[in-house]
């Protein structure tokens, strides 16, 4: 188990389906597909967006957050801009967990008041809600319910890329190749994502295999302690 999500669930691939998207709005400004060098200001840009989210929903309080309130369970910097030294699109990705994803009145108006645009919902894909911002730079805000497998996948992938230079370099390579191919073909951001998806899944599987081995080792150590 990883934060209440089983390894089996994390390994299960559930792709998002365009047919299940409930489109609310389109981005007012489209971000570039360019992959740029790491920017030392990305962490502070995340901090700025996170402060706006906290201003909207209250401070993160996983132990006190309850459905029916507008408390925030957690907010975290994920994606390529959260990995030091990794080239990326200049877009800050943020995971937000709320206590009741279906109580949209508890978080949508508050996030919109802080300048986040509500773009879509995907009820069949982990109940995902998606917001964007373009000032002072682009941001993607992913809103999830508690114990979401996607939140755990994002966290595990981030930690793996930080600690594994070989996969970090592989990820940078496929991102650049996918970006160039998508720009040449006139493709969208989603099509760019599809181009690199298989490689990202391979990297994630290695990260999950490593985590599974760690959990097994820890369990064996605990059992040995009981025997002793």
Residue 224's alpha-carbon distances to 80, 213, 216, 228, in angstroms, are: 39, 16, 12, 6
CATH of 7-227, one of 3.30.1300.10, 3.40.50.970, 3.30.460.10, 3.40.50.2020: 3.30.460.10
How many helices (H) does the chain have, and how many strands (E)? 6, 6
Spans of the chain below 50 pLDDT:
222, 226, 228
Q: What is the pLDDT of residue 228?
A: 44
Per-residue pLDDT tens digits for 147-167: 999 999 999 999 999 999 999
Q: What is the pLDDT of residue 6?
A: 81
Q: What is the pLDDT of residue 66?
A: 59
Where in the chain are the domains? Answer: 7-227
CA angle in degrees (0–180, nearest 5) for 31-153-10: 140
Q: What is the pLDDT of residue 63?
A: 66
Q: What is the pLDDT of residue 217?
A: 76
Q: What is the pLDDT of residue 216?
A: 79
Q: What is the pLDDT of residue 11?
A: 76
Q: What is the pLDDT of residue 224?
A: 53
């Amino acid at each position: 188990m990883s934060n209440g999500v089983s390894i089996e669930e994390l390994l299960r691939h559930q792709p998002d389906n365009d047919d299940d998207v409930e489109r609310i709005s389109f981005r007012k400004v489209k971000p570039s597909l360019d992959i740029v060098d790491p920017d030392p200001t990305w962490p502070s840009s995340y901090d700025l967006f996170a402060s706006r989210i906290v201003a909207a929903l209250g401070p993160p309080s996983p132990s006190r957050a309850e459905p029916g309130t507008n408390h925030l369970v957690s907010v975290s910097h994920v994606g390529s801009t959260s990995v030091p030294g990794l080239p990326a699109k200049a877009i800050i990705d943020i995971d937000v967990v709320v206590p009741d994803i279906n109580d949209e009145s508890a978080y949508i108006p508050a996030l919109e008041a802080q300048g986040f645009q509500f773009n879509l919902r995907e009820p069949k894909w982990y109940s995902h809600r998606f917001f964007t911002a373009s000032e002072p730079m682009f941001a993607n805000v992913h809103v999830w319910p508690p114990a979401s497998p996607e939140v755990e996948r994002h966290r595990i992938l981030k930690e793996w890329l930080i600690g594994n230079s070989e996969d970090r370099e592989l990820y940078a390579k496929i991102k650049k190749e996918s970006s160039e191919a998508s720009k040449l073909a006139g493709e969208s951001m989603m099509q760019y994502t599809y181009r690199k998806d298989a490689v990202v899944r391979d990297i994630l599987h290695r990260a999950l295999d490593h985590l599974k081995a760690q959990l097994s080792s820890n369990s064996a150590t605990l059992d040995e302690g009981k025997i002793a």
